[in-house]
């Protein structure tokens, strides 16, 4: 698994969107028990924190210690620095395993082998993420140009799985039908810029060119979105849920 987010761990915690409560409630209806959950690639513990409302014990792992330093502690969450593909967990231990906006970084065969080892026979794996945000036609034009034309060459090759809505990732499980979910945030233009700054492609661009590409679209964003104004930002949720065959 690649570590692309340690350098901007604080910004990641501050600006990354969450997931809708309806998604968690959907998952809970399919788990055998509410005893144990594993949030793999937890980052700053965003999903683990929500799972802690439903499960007696949540285990949250990531390869980035700096990301885990930003996580909010709770008595029933155990944070550990571990790779997704090889863990110290007991076999057949989890009712639910979640991966949020991280599966595309994993070695699929090795991770899925670990899922099959650690998941209970009737437990579920939920792979989730979010697609490119949508706001309004004028703002979307600016964001799309930034995404494709300015930092497009700086995305890791794994980004294609998100562009393809996770439909092309290997998924060797008996798949459950899922509803469509959207996460909506109420943001200022400053919050939008903060979020865009967490993109791995932006960090790659800065490393190579020595300046922040957001400066190239700031004037356009302010033209379509005045300072202090609140807009609704919508993230289409990617979701695949499966059980071991």
In this prediction, residue 3 carries a pLDDT of: 47
Count other C-beta atoms under 10 Å from residue 24's C-beta. Answer: 17
Q: Is 2 left (phi over 0), alpha (psi -120 to 50) or beta?
A: beta
- Whether 163 shows a pLDDT value over 90: the answer reads yes
**CB distance 225 to 231 below 8 Å:** yes
Q: What is the pLDDT of residues 21-64, one digit of tens each?
A: 999 999 999 999 999 999 999 999 999 999 999 999 999 999 99
Quote the CA–CA distance of 12 and 44 in Å, as a whole number.
8
Q: What is the pLDDT of residues 48-59, one digit of tens each?
A: 999 999 999 999
Secondary structure element (H or E) that encloses residue 220, with its range: helix 218-224
Tokens describing residue 128? 């989730």
Q: What is the pLDDT of residues 81-139, one digit of tens each?
A: 999 999 999 999 999 999 999 999 999 999 999 999 999 999 999 999 999 999 999 99
- Whether 183 shows a pLDDT value over 60: the answer reads yes
In this prediction, residue 211 carries a pLDDT of: 96
Residue owning tokens 């697609």: 131
Looking at domain 9-243, which of 3.40.50.150, 3.30.465.10, 3.30.70.100, 3.90.870.10 is its CATH number?
A: 3.40.50.150
**CB distance 74 to 54 below 8 Å:** no
**CB distance 165 to 238 below 8 Å:** yes
Count other C-beta atoms under 10 Å from residue 230's C-beta. Answer: 12
Residue owning tokens 């309004």: 136
């Amino acid at each position: 698994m690649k570590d692309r987010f340690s350098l901007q761990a604080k910004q990641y915690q501050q600006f990354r969107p969450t997931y809708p409560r309806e998604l968690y409630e959907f998952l809970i209806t399919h788990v055998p028990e509410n005893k144990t959950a594993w949030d793999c690639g937890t980052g700053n513990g965003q999903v683990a924190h929500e799972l802690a409302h439903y499960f007696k014990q949540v285990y949250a792992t990531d390869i980035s210690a700096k990301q885990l330093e930003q996580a909010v502690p709770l008595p029933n969450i155990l944070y550990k620095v571990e790779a997704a593909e090889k863990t110290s967990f007991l076999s057949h231990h989890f009712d639910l395993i979640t991966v949020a906006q991280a599966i595309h970084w994993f070695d699929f065969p090795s991770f899925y082998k670990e899922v099959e080892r650690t998941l209970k026979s009737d437990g579920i794996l939920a792979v989730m993420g979010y697609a490119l945000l949508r706001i309004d036609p004028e703002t979307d034009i600016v964001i799309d140009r930034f995404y494709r034309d300015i930092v497009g060459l700086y995305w890791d090759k794994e980004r294609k799985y998100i562009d393809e809505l996770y439909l092309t990732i290997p998924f060797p499980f008996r798949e459950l039908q899922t509803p469509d979910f959207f996460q909506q945030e109420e943001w200022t233009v400053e919050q939008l810029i903060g979020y865009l700054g967490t993109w791995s492609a932006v960090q790659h661009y800065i490393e190579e060119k020595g300046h922040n590409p957001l400066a190239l679209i700031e004037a356009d964003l302010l033209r379509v979105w005045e300072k202090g104004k609140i807009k609704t930002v919508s993230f289409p949720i990617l979701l695949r849920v499966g059980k071991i065959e």
